[in-house]
Amino acid sequence: MNKLISLLTGIIFGTGLVVSEMINPEKVLSFLDVFGNWDPSLAFVMIGALIVSSPLFHLIKNKEKPLFADSFNYSKNKEINNRLIIGSALFGVGWGLGGLCPGPAISSIALLNINSMTFVIAMFVGFYLVKFFKLSS
Amino acid sequence: MNIVNFTPVTATVGGMIIGLAVVIFFLFNGRLVGISGIAANALSEKNNRFDNLLFLIGLVIGPILYTLFTNKEINITISNSLILLICAGLLVGIGTRVSGGCTSGHGISGIGRFSLRSIIATITFMIFGILTVLIKNYI
């Protein structure tokens, strides 16, 4: 059953990216263009997501266990270190260059766009490099 | 600053759909959505590999189903420079793994559980994203 949930969750998430238009890199870049022609929509996407997920997260985490798994399994890492800052800064620069972050980039494979696929391949190379050099958080 | 193309309603509704996905994944599978982690682990970790792959397949199926059911075409505008896209992809891939999360993992799941670490990560990648666009567009 948890396999079905994984697939379903991906589908719902991908649909949210389309409805909110976050799948469109131009929309994301115009959110980051605060000093020019600014489109604040991305902030509303985050607020919408948090309104739904945050209260329910705090309710659900007090349950004994999830419905289709043995235990809750999420990062409780609280460390604020150089890797967090440097990694986030590098991600921010890459995000600002292309307007793509991992979710929308992977969802946009559906559109068979060669440019976004190029980005996705480079992103996976990046994942691999971090794994290879053991730099992950 | 001029405000352009602002779509608060579809943005909020789309965000709530994303939030719903996060809740379902947590309630049933006990995990918090973070797409950079799911994608990286789908390739390199045996643990939960099939779940992670199915989630990624779902991400791709979502837009296809949306088009089938609504008959609306999804239009995106993306850079044509392959060198820029390769650099951007490498930076996003490296940065998200070094910092342990992306827009979903830190920005939604992390902030949702009030993690200071994720709040700092989100502020940092937003600032660097804004600076990058500023430099790219105006300098």
What is the per-residue pLDDT across B93-127, written as a single tens digit (0 to 9) for each? Answer: 999 999 999 999 999 999 999 999 999 999 999 99
User: Could you give the CA distance from residue B119 to residue B117 in angstroms, rounded to a whole number?
Assistant: 6
CA atoms within 13 Å, Cβ hemisphere of B76:
30
Cβ atoms of B9 and A44 closer than 8 Å: no
Q: Is the per-residue pLDDT at B52 higher than 80?
A: yes
Helix (H, G, I), strand (E, B) or coil at A61: coil
Those of residues 57-86 in A touching chain B at CB distance below 8 A are: 57-58, 60-61, 65-75, 77-80, 83-86
pLDDT of residue A27: 98
pLDDT of residue A137: 82
List the single best residue of A1, A3, A4, A18 to mutate versus B (max B Cβ within 10 A). Answer: A18
Helix (H, G, I), strand (E, B) or coil at A39: coil
Tell me if A66 and B76 make a contact (CB, 8 A cut-off): no
- ipTM associated with this complex: 0.97
Whole-angstrom CA distances from B106 to A44, A47, A116, A121, B82 are: 16, 14, 22, 22, 28
Q: What percent of chain B has pLDDT over 90?
A: 96
pLDDT of residue B103: 98
Tell me if B14 and A17 make a contact (CB, 8 A cut-off): yes
Token pair for residue B113? 């559980």
What pTM does this model have? 0.97
User: Could you give the CA distance from residue B125 to residue A86 in angstroms, rounded to a whole number?
Assistant: 9
B16 vs A51, A100, A110: nearest CB = A51
Token pair for residue A115? 């440019």
Tell me if A100 and B82 make a contact (CB, 8 A cut-off): no
Q: Is the per-residue pLDDT at A45 higher than 80?
A: yes
Kindly report the nearest CA distance between residue A117 and chain B, in angstroms.
9
Region A108-132 average pLDDT: 97
Report chain A's mean pLDDT, rounded to a whole number: 97
Read off φ and ψ for residue A38, nearest 5 degrees: -90, 130
Token pair for residue B108? 């939604």
CA dihedral A13, A18, A24, A27 (to 10 degrees): -100
Q: Is the per-residue pLDDT at B139 higher than 80?
A: no
Kindly report the nearest CA distance between residue B100 and chain A, in angstroms.
5
Question: Which residue from B minimizes the CA distance to A134?
Answer: B98
Residue with tokens 């239009």: B75
- Nearest by Cα to B109 from B52, B47, B36: B36
Please count the residue pairs, one from chain A and one from chain B, whose beta carbons lie less than 8 angstroms apart.
517
- Nearest by Cα to A85 from B123, B32, B36: B123
Confidence of residue B137 (pLDDT cuts 50, 70, 90): very high
Q: Is the per-residue pLDDT at B17 higher than 80?
A: yes
Degrees (nearest 5) of the Cα angle B107, B105, A72? 125
Rg of the Cα trace of chain A? Answer: 17
**AA letter at B75:** N
